[in-house]
Structure 1
Amino acid sequence: MREWLPIYFKGFAMGVADMVPGVSGGTIALITGIYERLVTAITTLDPRLVTYAVRPHDPAARTSFVDGVDRVDLGFLLALGAGIGTAVLAVSRVVGTVAETYPAATAAFFFGLIGASAVVLADQIRLPRRRSIPIMTAGVLIAGGVTLVTAGSVSHALPVVFVAGAIAVSAMVLPGVSGAFFLLVLGQYYFMLDALNGFVDALVGVLSGGSITEVLATGTVVVTFLTGAVVGLLTVAHLVKRALERHRAETLAFLVALMIGGLLLPAQQVTANVSVTVTTESVTTNIVEPLVPILFAVILGAAAVLALDRFTDDLEYAESETPDGTREPTAERG
């Protein structure tokens, strides 16, 4: 128990970070010294374990399942996952309440977080301008286009939720990149907050003698998202990791461009929720007063990311060889 408790609390810290657009759970893993272990554990997960687990009557399947579990750092993943899950449940209600009460300030805070994250990641890119410009142009156009589409009538159909889960969880292997940011751009962030909070409330209601109908309705959304997350860990995360290993600068340039294009969404939310009244008597006051908390929120968000970057500026990536001869990204203090 004592061995897994620190892992649980590190997972809790990652979960808190994963709930905030612009803050990376992967960065928290890097800070707490579990990034290498996390990436190794994720990339050694074998999807065939599921098929073995549902065939306990088959001796060969049982043997393969036991052997597969031995190769996977299962205790670590369970303890870390429990911490992340606890944090998500705890923070989702807080974020939802704050966003509903102070929508403009919340969007401005996210703007600062995402903008500063883009600056921090951009500092890691070493790429000639002739190669970076087309990549970043494509990234900005894609993120901006998706933002404009989702700002209208975004779909919350289960296939969309599934894909969103797969994309968001892949950010776990990317220090500096936020899974919640991708949910925000895809128009699923606040929807999933409401679904998760509704699911928890419905479960509590059932324990108090309420109907199970709401549990099934919201639970279907939550389970679909989690299923997408599992599939993402087993597929998309591997692709992203391989892209970073083979084309690190180009991949980072594209991610930075996505962040820049994604800034359009919180900017739209700020302008939609800020009312500036102009009168001839006090033009300056009426314009400045509503903008003060907005500017403060932007600065606070940016400062949080820059402070985190300052704390981790002595961490750098290295590569270590795994038993199968492949190269794994690791983190070490410089």
Structure 2
Amino acid sequence: MGAADAVPGVSGGTIALVTGIYERLIAAITAVSLARIRAVLLGVLPGHRNDAVGALRAVDAGFLLVLGAGIATAIVTVTRIVHTGIETMPVLTFGFFFGLIAASAWVLFSEVAVDTPARAAAAVAGFVFAFVVSGRAAATLGDGLPVTVLAGAIAVSAMILPGISGSLLLVILGQYEYMTGTLSAFVDALLATVTGGPLAPLREHGVVVVAFIAGAFVGLFTVAHAVRWALNRARTATLAFLVALIVGALRAPIVRTGEQLTELGRTWTPTAVAAFVAAAVVGAVLVVLLEHYTGIADIDGDI
């Protein structure tokens, strides 16, 4: 799940479905509440141990701990590779992302019926929002801590949506490259500190990582539950909006490739366009193969 969540276009929720842990994951996430967190924190006090144990069992804490460790390990590893690719091979990297996103949109839209005015309006709204935001978000939102908290809260909602990638939501918000770079820098600073290096870089990047995690934690109680509420009230219209987000987000890899080429003193050339398309084809084929061999495109029935 961590490897999937680290790249835009592939959903960790999809991997959860493939591995058969999706229902257990959703049950554990939705079982987390402030009351149970309080019970766990008070478990260190005399007479509260049984309540703490009961709360831990209710949220399937052992499962979440092991799963979280695996996700964190994969994210740290994969984001480092992705960040290096963005800096050194932007055309191939963003082309690959474009293919992942485009194929995900094609696969998922085939399962969403946009056959009423309300559903069509939801799809148009999702597309327009993602198209506009994915082209301007990085410059408009910046990279302050409040934005990082917001990004974490929104990205975590993808955990309950097979087919919707948390990294894709970060791309739409213009925070993907910033967060992958910050995470890589934080890991480097942590390793340097262990070997006697300075603490300043660890504090600088650690604040951002903690802010993102805090936002994700808040999102478990707000954004994720809001998405589930919307799915329960207007499932098809909500899915149409969410899948249309993916289509609108196709603008982001193209825009970011152009910006990255400019930073490197290069421009779009026929060779660059061909490389972008070739990488996109590879990404699209991977998604189509995943859907073909797992048969999990029926998101309307799985959520």
TM-score by length of 1: 0.83
Over 3 Å counting, the alpha-carbon distance change for 1:202 and 1:314 in structure 2 is closer
Q: Contact 2:13/2:22 (CA < 8 Å) preserved in 1?
A: yes
1:46 matched to 2:33 = yes
Deviates more, 1:83-92 or 1:135-144: 135-144
Q: What is the aligned counterpart of 1:125 among 112, 122, 142?
A: 112
Alpha-carbon distance in structure 2 between the residues aligned to 1:317 and 1:20: 20
Deviates more, 1:28-37 or 1:205-214: 205-214
Identify the structure with bigger relative contact order (alpha carbons < 8 Å, sequence gap 6+).
2
- What amino acid is aligned across from residue 3 of structure 2 in structure 1? V
Identity of aligned residues (%): 45
Secondary structure class of the residue paired with 1:55 = helix
Q: What is the aligned counterpart of 1:298 among 264, 276, 280?
A: 280
Q: Contact 2:91/2:272 (CA < 8 Å) preserved in 1?
A: no
Alpha-carbon distance in structure 2 between the residues aligned to 1:315 and 1:182: 19
Post-superposition Cα deviations, 1:6-65, rounded to whole Å, max 9, x if no partner, equal xxxxxxxx1000000000000000001111111111111122233234434654644432
Provide the residue aligned with 2:245 in structure 1: 258
Provide the residue aligned with 1:214 in structure 2: 201
Q: Contact 2:108/2:297 (CA < 8 Å) preserved in 1?
A: no
Q: Contact 2:109/2:243 (CA < 8 Å) preserved in 1?
A: yes
Looking at CA atoms only, which structure, 1 or 2, has the larger radius of gyration? 1
1:156 matched to 2:148 = no
Q: What is the aligned counterpart of 2:9 among 22, 26, 34?
A: 22
Provide the residue aligned with 2:59 in structure 1: 72
Alpha-carbon distance in structure 2 between the residues aligned to 1:315 and 1:178: 14
Give 1:219 shift. Answer: 0.4
- What amino acid is aligned across from residue 295 of structure 2 in structure 1? D
Alpha-carbon distance in structure 1 between the residues aligned to 2:257 and 2:239: 27
- What amino acid is aligned across from residue 253 of structure 2 in structure 1? P
1:275 matched to 2:257 = no
Q: Contact 1:115/1:259 (CA < 8 Å) preserved in 2?
A: yes
Over 3 Å counting, the alpha-carbon distance change for 1:128 and 1:220 in structure 2 is same
Q: What is the aligned counterpart of 1:205 among 189, 192, 195?
A: 192
TM-score by length of 2: 0.91
Alignment map for 1:56-135 (pairs within 5 Å): 56=43, 58-59=45-46, 61-135=48-122
Alpha-carbon distance in structure 1 between the residues aligned to 2:129 and 2:9: 18
1:307 matched to 2:289 = yes
Over 3 Å counting, the alpha-carbon distance change for 1:60 and 1:235 in structure 2 is farther
CA RMSD of aligned residues (A): 2.1
Alpha-carbon distance in structure 2 between the residues aligned to 1:195 and 1:308: 30
Provide the residue aligned with 1:187 in structure 2: 174
- Please identify which structure carries the higher strand content: 1
Secondary structure class of the residue paired with 2:8 = coil
Q: Contact 1:185/1:265 (CA < 8 Å) preserved in 2?
A: yes
Q: Contact 1:166/1:228 (CA < 8 Å) preserved in 2?
A: yes
Alpha-carbon distance in structure 2 between the residues aligned to 1:30 and 1:243: 21
Secondary structure class of the residue paired with 1:20 = coil
- What amino acid is aligned across from residue 277 of structure 2 in structure 1? L
Q: Contact 1:105/1:270 (CA < 8 Å) preserved in 2?
A: no
Alpha-carbon distance in structure 1 between the residues aligned to 2:76 and 2:197: 21
Provide the residue aligned with 2:21 in structure 1: 34
Q: Contact 1:42/1:234 (CA < 8 Å) preserved in 2?
A: no
Post-superposition Cα deviations, 1:110-139, rounded to whole Å, max 9, x if no partner, equal 111111111111111123242232112211
Q: Contact 1:18/1:178 (CA < 8 Å) preserved in 2?
A: yes
Deviates more, 1:170-179 or 1:116-125: 116-125
- Please identify which structure carries the higher helix content: 2
Alpha-carbon distance in structure 2 between the residues aligned to 1:96 and 1:57: 41
Deviates more, 1:241-250 or 1:194-203: 241-250
Deviates more, 1:252-261 or 1:235-244: 235-244
- Aligned length in residues: 298
Give 1:153 shift. Answer: 4.6
Post-superposition Cα deviations, 1:86-133, rounded to whole Å, max 9, x if no partner, equal 101111111111111111221111111111111111111123242232
Alpha-carbon distance in structure 2 between the residues aligned to 1:276 and 1:118: 25
